[in-house]
Every structure is written in C-alpha cells, then in structure tokens.
C-alpha cells in the first residue's frame, strides 16, 4: 500500500498527524533533505510527499530530481507563516508541461 508523508516544521506537520498521515518534523533544510532521501529510497512506498514551501525553497536541486517522476509526487504546502508562492508556481508549471499551455492564468 502506498503511503503519504509530510515534511515540514513541527507546527506545520502536527495537523497532518491528526489526520493519520506520516509526519516528519524538520528544523532546517538539511534535516528535510536527509528525511526526503530516506523516504525516497527504492524500498519505501511513498506516493505523495507534502513538503513545506520554506524548506523546499532551500532544496531546489533535491526537489527537482522528482519533477518528472510519477512517484513520489512532491507537493509544496504553505507553512505556519503562510504561502510564499512556490506551491502555486510548481502547480502552474506542472500543468503547463502536461497541457502545453498555461490554462490556470496569472
């Protein structure tokens, strides 16, 4: 069975834990990178990994490795401080790659 994980600051991931998702608090981008690498080893079965935007902003190359891979889908979510726009930009880029044009508008 495929799993869903959430990587982010403690305040961000705790709400997801209440929903029954696997949560991985990360204090900084280095810890988040280690966690992401561990979760994406071939032996792990994660279909979706939600990641806090603020951490992902510091992990560009690491996140980009999964851009064209069907699993895991790395989905950026806002942190406690609110959105910095990365998640929306990533979604817009993915839709544009899939459809061939920007259908979501500005």
- Which of 18, 26, 66, 60 shows the shortest CA–CA distance to 46? 66
Please tell me the distance from the alpha carbon of residue 22 to that of residue 77, in angstroms, as a whole number: 15
Q: Tell which CATH classification among 3.40.1170.10, 3.40.640.10, 3.40.50.10580, 3.60.9.10 matches the domain 3-99.
A: 3.40.50.10580
Residues facing residue 14 across a β-bridge: none
User: What pLDDT digit, counting tens, does each position of 20-34 carry?
Assistant: 899 999 999 999 999
User: What pLDDT digit, counting tens, does each position of 48-96 carry?
Assistant: 999 999 999 999 889 888 877 888 989 888 887 766 666 666 666 666 6
């Amino acid at each position: 069975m495929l799993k869903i994980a959430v990587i982010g600051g403690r305040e961000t991931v705790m709400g997801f834990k209440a929903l029954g998702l696997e949560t991985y608090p990360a204090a900084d981008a280095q810890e988040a990178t280690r966690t992401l690498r561990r979760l994406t080893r071939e032996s792990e079965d994660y279909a979706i990994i939600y990641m806090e935007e603020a951490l992902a902003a510091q992990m560009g190359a690491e996140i980009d490795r999964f851009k064209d891979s069907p699993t895991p889908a790395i989905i950026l979510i806002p942190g406690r401080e609110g959105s910095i726009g990365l998640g929306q930009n990533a979604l817009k880029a993915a839709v544009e790659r899939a459809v061939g044009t920007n259908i979501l508008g500005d």
